[in-house]
Amino acid sequence: MKVQNVDLSTFLIRIVLGVIFLAHGLKKVKGMDATVHHFQIDFGLQGYIAYLVTFIEVVGGALLILGIFTRVASTGISIVMIGAIYTVTWNKGFINGYEFDLALLAMAISLIIKRNNAR
């Protein structure tokens, strides 16, 4: 595979992942009280976790879109996705369960592994 094709595929993964996380994070910000309540009541998590996840999604998504601190952003996103799979989607099974979260996790890990992925 040519370097140009690898760079383009990495660029597409970075942009798409960034847009997805920025959008989800901004949705949480818009309804932060409901987000905290949801994390506490539905998932049994402390309220501060909702703020931490929201921060990682917004800042991580923006950093990926900008192409800066890509590995740091991808690491944070990977941790969020592992947590989401563990606490929310694992018990739902693969189909209509954790398959989307697993795909996002794989995308984030691919950005951690890839050298010089900011473009």
- Of 84, 92, 91, the residue nearest 108 (C-alpha): 84
Burial of 107 (0-12, 13-18, 19+ CB in 10 A): buried
Q: Which residue type is seen at 59? A: V
Q: What is the pLDDT along the chain (119 residues), one digit of tens a residue?
A: 555 666 899 999 999 999 999 999 999 999 999 999 999 999 999 999 999 999 999 999 999 999 999 999 999 999 999 999 999 999 999 999 999 999 999 999 999 998 654 44
Q: What is the largest CA-CA distance in the chain?
A: 49
Contact partners, residue 105, CB within 8 Å, separation at least 6:
78, 81, 82, 85
- Sheet strands (E) in the chain: none
